[in-house]
Structure 1
Amino acid sequence: MGRERTSSGLEAELAKHTGIELHGGNLRIVFMWRRIRCRESLGLPVTKANIKHAALLRAAILHEIKTNTFEYGRHFPNSKHAGNYSSAKDERLEALAERYKPLKAVDITPMTEEKYAYAIDICVELVGKDRLAGILLPEDIHLLRARLIETRAPSTANHYLATFAGFLTWCESNKYCVAGLAAACTRFAMSEKEPDPLTHEEFDLVVTKGCLHPQDVAATTLAVYTGLRPGELCALAVEDIDLQAGKIEVTRAITADGTFKLPKTGKPRTVLLMEPAIEACRTLIAIVAKHPKRDIRVYHNRHEWRDESVTPLLSPSTQARKRVINEWFVSTAWNTKWAGIQRRAGIRPRRPYQTRHTYACWCLTARGNLAFIAKQMGHKDFTMLVEVYAKWMDHESPMEIQRIWKELQRSQAAAADNKA
């Protein structure tokens, strides 16, 4: 659009200043911001004084754009574009992601760092590596969600969204993008999967028909009677077990790449052992009695770790025929072994994690104390037990009132005897 006709003197004055033009009888300034040509009317009539004012305003805006301090809404609060352009700094999404990764890595282990970096890279690629973070809208995040779920399971998409939300929160706090983007990373609803524990009959089939080696029998028994997570079970060392006290100190877990880290909660815990678990520990300790100690490094995060010299309790080398073999089971190897055990036992296939569910369900149907079970399993409190295992808590509820009544009668009888 060109300039409108005005007096020759004013035309000469307008010609002196780039980016100042006449529109609708008023002055309008034109400038480039984030590769967008912006035009804003000042609502001022054409006079020499107003032309100079417009020129100074444009010069100030150009200076602020160059120094990354320009705020559209402050200069043009009534503009229809004020809500579309944020005051965030001009930074490309890929550059911000590369800056964020090492900052996040301070608080996580190397294995987790790799997973986080992969998830962020996928999301940045889908949103657009060269996009300016400052002009992203919640709509862009909604489009990312749609693209993620097209070819991924809800659990995977949710992991990517949760990781990307952390990145966007960092961007928001540092004024690289508008507020509300992280909140737009809403997770996909997932159907609740009930625990699928082993029955006592299935467990008997597993240890009698499925397991071919005493180590497998003992390992499976230990998993079912302690509720250890697979990564915790595979990371156990002989030094973690106190047979006399009947307990295990769970201080580490092993990842898929063989890296050791803290347990899921980030804190060690003590697991008290039932008799089958104690016998299983005795068997496992005897099997590896002549195995040498191994030096390992347990990561707390990327920059903190502890070095230990321990004897693997479950070692693939016990049954291996190859000369070169890992000294510790990792999740993929344990998954393969567990699948073979179930196949030989002739039971319905389940993930290895179901041995943990088996422990919880068996304890609950035996009317175990909720707080105690939660502590054994490493939960913060028994809220998760109530949410996940309610079906098994109610399993013998018709008998519960009789048990309570008997306890009340016993207490009342004891009180009467004390008075007498």
Structure 2
Amino acid sequence: MMAHIRIRPNGRIQFDLHIYGQRFREGTKMLATPKNLAIAKSMLKTINAEIDLGTFKYREHFPDSKKVPLFEQLQRDKHPDHQYPFFDHFAEQWFSRQKGKWKTSYQNAVQNNLDKYLLPHFGNTLVNEISLAQVEHYRQRLMETTKADGARRLSNRRINNILWPLVAIVSLAAEEHKFDYPLRRYRALKEEKAESSPLTLEEVKRYLGAVDPQWKDYFLIRFWTGLRSCELHALQWQHIDFDHHLIHIRQNWVNGEVCDVKTPKSRRSLKLCDTLFDAFKRIQATQLLINDTNFVFTGEDGLPLDTHFVSKSLWYPTLKKAGLKRRRPYETRHTAAVLHIAAHENPLYVSQMLGHSDTKLLFEIYAPYVANASRTDGTAFSELMKSEGVTGK
């Protein structure tokens, strides 16, 4: 096994490697100038030394090469008696052991991170040979991935979510296979705080005035309650207590299935004010004419609404029609919080309405609106909206 360098007809330097009975050629963008040849020869010397010592890692020298998987598979086949497992094998075991603790939607998210990111890059690496430098280099590549317009494709939060299974897997492997944990000094990226952009009261009126009448009550309920999409779409008629004027939040609709709410605090009951009471009654009357379903909000297939459908077909087109700036559908939640505070509702009531564990998040995000909050039952908000003529009728 040996590596050489050669000059291609276009004058650029190429590495030519013969390893495991296979020839690997890796071109470079370096022209064969004296300076570049010196750099290439130094790299060649390192490669050959690593080949002699049995420590050569194709990925470290040619990280973007399409030949990396072939080399690593040949290396793996050549040395089947390694003391430690390969990352892909141990990751599969780890996932099998952990998935019972997670909801199906979270299982799918972790599996996607493994399949799309971690296994292609680390799969053929012995789990004890994954280094801090290797992880940080890979993370930097993820940070530098851009969209067509030059903007970052992955946020710090998304990258942290991609890499945490790697950290967990290597940590468990180090404990069970008795090797030094290499990621002790690893630190997650600092995550950016999402900028909220709630609608003003006037903008809410413009939005409800522009939305298709079929969906007016749907969005009115979003603006009034601050419910998450997954909570609203999972609502069944059994959760609407018309006798006691309550909405019971008990489940989510995620990836085509009903599951438990996100946290214990998310399991809550909201006051059904007159405006909401009337809205749900109108929906119920209309729905009975169309189909017989237990879910309050359904698509044409009779299943709960799909979040992507709401975003692409309803939310964004209506914003454009109303002449409002583009923002996430999640802003209906922020809007509900801001308008309740503006109506001088008690912050504790607003936090409970949103399903927060305490008022800390409310004060951090909406501090300018919290002053003088006093009431506790939601009537102030309802009266504010009525006085502005925003009732949904």
Correspondence for 2:222? 223
CA contact (8 A) 1:197 1:357 kept: yes
How far has the Cα of 1:145 moved from its partner?
A: 1.2
State the TM-score, normalized to the length of structure 1.
0.63
Q: Percent of counterpart pairs with the same letter? A: 20
Query: Over residues 119-154 of structure 1, what are the superposed CA-to-partner deviations in whole Å (9 max), with x where a residue is unaligned?
Result: 123443464322111122222221121122121321
- Which shifted more, 154-163 or 234-243? 154-163
- SS of equivalent to 1:261: strand
Correspondence for 2:168? 166
Instruction: Output the amino acid matched with 2:103.
Output: T
Q: How many residue pairs get matched?
A: 289
The 1:166/1:314 distance shift into structure 2, 3 A limit, reads same
Instruction: Output the amino acid matched with 1:245.
Output: H
2:80 aligned with 1:97 = no
Correspondence for 1:380? 357
Correspondence for 1:153? 154
Query: Over residues 304-355 of structure 1, what are the superposed CA-to-partner deviations in whole Å (9 max), with x where a residue is unaligned?
Result: xxxxxxx1111223xxxxxxx3522111111121112222222112211000
How far has the Cα of 1:67 moved from its partner?
A: 11
The 1:176/1:91 distance shift into structure 2, 3 A limit, reads farther
Instruction: Output the amino acid matched with 2:86.
Output: R
Correspondence for 2:317? 340
Whole-angstrom CA distance in 1 between matches of 2:272 and 2:278: 10
How far has the Cα of 1:291 moved from its partner?
A: 5.5
CA contact (8 A) 2:250 2:260 kept: yes
The 1:342/1:97 distance shift into structure 2, 3 A limit, reads same
- SS of equivalent to 1:254: strand
- SS of equivalent to 1:184: coil
Aligned pairs for 1:228-243 within 5 A: 228-243=227-242
The 1:163/1:237 distance shift into structure 2, 3 A limit, reads same
Whole-angstrom CA distance in 2 between matches of 1:278 and 1:225: 11
- SS of equivalent to 1:316: coil
Aligned pairs for 1:15-414 within 5 A: 90-125=84-119, 127-151=121-145, 152-154=153-155, 155-175=157-177, 178-179=180-181, 181=183, 184-190=186-192, 192-208=193-209, 210-213=210-213, 215-255=214-254, 257-265=255-263, 268-290=267-289, 294=293, 311-317=294-300, 325-336=301-312, 337-393=314-370, 397=371, 400=372
- Which shifted more, 156-165 or 279-288? 156-165
- Which shifted more, 283-292 or 328-337? 283-292
Whole-angstrom CA distance in 2 between matches of 1:360 and 1:219: 17
Whole-angstrom CA distance in 2 between matches of 1:180 and 1:250: 44
Whole-angstrom CA distance in 1 between matches of 2:258 and 2:184: 31
CA contact (8 A) 1:227 1:358 kept: yes
Instruction: Output the amino acid matched with 2:138.
Output: L
CA contact (8 A) 1:135 1:177 kept: no
Whole-angstrom CA distance in 1 between matches of 2:91 and 2:136: 19
- Which shifted more, 377-386 or 338-347? 338-347
The 1:197/1:98 distance shift into structure 2, 3 A limit, reads same
Whole-angstrom CA distance in 2 between matches of 1:384 and 1:183: 30
- SS of equivalent to 2:180: coil
Instruction: Output the amino acid matched with 1:258.
Output: G
Whole-angstrom CA distance in 1 between matches of 2:269 and 2:188: 36
After superposition, the CA RMSD in angstroms is 2.8
> Any stretches of 5+ residues in structure 1 without a counterpart?
1-33, 38-65, 69-88, 295-310, 318-324, 404-420
Instruction: Output the amino acid matched with 1:351.
Output: R
In terms of Rg, which structure is larger?
A: 1
CA contact (8 A) 1:231 1:254 kept: yes
The 1:133/1:315 distance shift into structure 2, 3 A limit, reads same
The 1:332/1:171 distance shift into structure 2, 3 A limit, reads same
CA contact (8 A) 2:227 2:333 kept: yes
How far has the Cα of 1:177 moved from its partner?
A: 5.2
The 1:123/1:315 distance shift into structure 2, 3 A limit, reads closer
> Any stretches of 5+ residues in structure 2 without a counterpart?
1-52, 57-79, 146-152, 375-393
